[in-house]
Amino acid sequence: MNPSMPRLGAAAVPQHRAPGAAGVLHLGLGNFHRAHQAVYTAAAMAADGGDWGIVGVASRSRGVVDAMREQDLLYSVAEISPSGTALTVPGVHTDAFVAAEQPERVVSTIAQPGIRVVTLTVTENGYSYSPATGHLDVADPQIAADLRGEGPLTTIGQLARGLQRRAALGGEPVTILSCDNLSENGAHTRRLVTEFLQELPDRSGADALEYLERSVAFPSSMVDRIVPATTDRLRDDVAHRLGFWDAAPVPAEPFTMWAIEDRFAAGRPAWEAGGAIFTDEVGRYEQLKVRLLNGTHSLIAYLGALRGAETISGAIAMPEIERAARAILRREYEPSVEVPAGVDVRDYEEQLFGRWANSALGHRTAQVGTDGSVKLRQRIPEPATQAFERGEQPHLIALAVAAYLCCVAPRPGFDPGPHAASMVDPARARFAAIAQTARDGAECARRAIADLHLFGLELAERSDFIARVGELIDTIVHHGVSAAIDDAVAA
């Protein structure tokens, strides 16, 4: 806190109008939500009014919740481009709390009839499903606890328990809207919630299952905006521009996109006022974004971290990394997607390079590289399988996997550097054992992909792909990242 400054709050924003009553419950009160759905909701309410205030729920951490509560639930969004920074204060939240501290309150809020939409940004890691099968991971101790009636602490448990309560209290219709980078995120969420309810003992989920069938919609959506973590430097910069101290500002790039399937059970905010696209082609938008943007992002992050780049812009400025990014896009990602009507894929790609090069944003390779074991599941197996079907080996996808394993499961004696070391990954503990005992890259790749089923069952059986990943690991370890890029691009 900068003591010489007054704190951001309603009095600091004279044009601020308090949001109407809450109509949305949001799970995952992180930076992405605050710079994405919240901004669209502010535009919707400015254009169309409506009781669409948002109750924001953070899963575990208090930081953002405490800061927002001390600031009349306000915070600023700093739109950062090389040509300058623009600040806005969306001001759409009506409350904020921490789910781990008040799990019962999550359930009772989902059950309130005034809540008509539940939105989710809980990351790929927040859906408690087995990467190998795609089904609910009933072996996960947290899911098991939620099934026993504790918590609920998992997102799927919270949704299922909330819908069960809602069904019992009158069964008003509601929409659950996933905003995470998962393919067919609506159907995926629906399946996991259904499986949770089916697992409940003595058919106690039966009424909720019937209600879900009748009155709950799970549209899919594709979200896009690069939103890095907040830094002290950003807080100082925002304070300087705003004249008030904001403990929780959000940095974001100027670009933003939201494509949504228009299937809502009980109305929705007029998000189109903020530029949201309502379309039947969400699946195509999702594939385009999750593969071309996110898949290439992972490649850039892992190669960049190994080359010592702290940021994505620093990484993509290295000519060999740009070459690898262009090659994976053209040869392996582009052929795997069906492009939505009206989108020019080459323009889309050029725009991506401009976004990644935004050096003012400071988006860290360690942030994009975090949680690879769950994120890559969305970005790797499908396009790789499609390449095999065309009779091709996806060398650049293999390079992304090799670079990933070098970052988070480094072979003894190989130092991946500080950016790789700070990547957090739920599979790190399992990888550590592999990295310590595997004889070479081939064994490391085989044990991660075939034994751990890192990318599902299909890739686990592709011994030619696994061998290629192993070769590229050895090339990175013995000859360096640039040699591995040359090898993969030339192949």
Write down the least CB distance from residue 369 to ligand CS2, Å.
8
Of 35 and 409, CB closest to ligand CS2: 35
Please list every residue from 356 through 375 that binds ligand CS2, using CB under 6 A. 367-368, 375
The secondary structure element, H or E, covering residue 221 is strand 221-224
The answer to the question of residue 31 lying near ligand CS2 (CB under 6 A) is no
CA dihedral sign, ordered 284, 285, 290, 296: positive
Of 181 and 313, CB closest to ligand CS2: 181
Of 61 and 198, CB closest to ligand CS2: 61
The answer to the question of residue 355 lying near ligand CS2 (CB under 6 A) is no
The answer to the question of residue 225 lying near ligand CS2 (CB under 6 A) is yes
Write down the least CB distance from residue 28 to ligand CS2, Å.
13
Write down the least CB distance from residue 92 to ligand CS2, Å.
20
Angle at Cα 22 formed by Cα 16 and Cα 23, nearest 5°? Answer: 120
The answer to the question of residue 226 lying near ligand CS2 (CB under 6 A) is yes
**Are 401 and 431 a contacting pair, CB within 8 Å?**
no
Stretch that binds ligand CS2, among 93-101, 108-116, 220-228, 321-329 (CB under 6 A): 220-228
Residue of minimal Cβ distance to ligand CS2: 297
Of 375 and 419, CB closest to ligand CS2: 375
Q: Is 308 left (phi over 0), alpha (psi -120 to 50) or beta?
A: left
Give the integer Cα–Cα distance in Å for 287 and 333: 9
Residues 6 or more apart from 327 whose CB is under 8 A from it? 396, 488, 489
Give the integer Cα–Cα distance in Å for 410 and 473: 9
Write down the least CB distance from residue 211 to ligand CS2, Å.
32
Q: Residue 84, SS3?
A: strand
Alpha-helical runs (H) found in 169-281: 185-199, 206-215, 232-242
Write down the least CB distance from residue 42 to ligand CS2, Å.
19
Burial tier of 3 (Cβ tally within 10 Å: 0-12, 13-18, 19+): exposed
The answer to the question of residue 286 lying near ligand CS2 (CB under 6 A) is no
The answer to the question of residue 297 lying near ligand CS2 (CB under 6 A) is yes
Give the integer Cα–Cα distance in Å for 272 and 257: 11
Looking at 71, 76, 181, 311, which residue binds ligand CS2 (CB under 6 A)? Answer: 181
Which parts of 243-347 are beta strand (E)? Answer: 250-252, 257-260, 277-278
Stretch that binds ligand CS2, among 68-76, 81-89, 222-230, 385-393 (CB under 6 A): 222-230
Instruction: Determine the size of the site formed for ligand CS2 (CB under 6 A).
Output: 9
Write down the least CB distance from residue 417 to ligand CS2, Å.
19
* Beta bridge partners of residue 26, listed in sequence order: 56, 119
The answer to the question of residue 188 lying near ligand CS2 (CB under 6 A) is no
Binding site for ligand CS2 (CB under 6 A): 181, 224-226, 294, 297, 367-368, 375
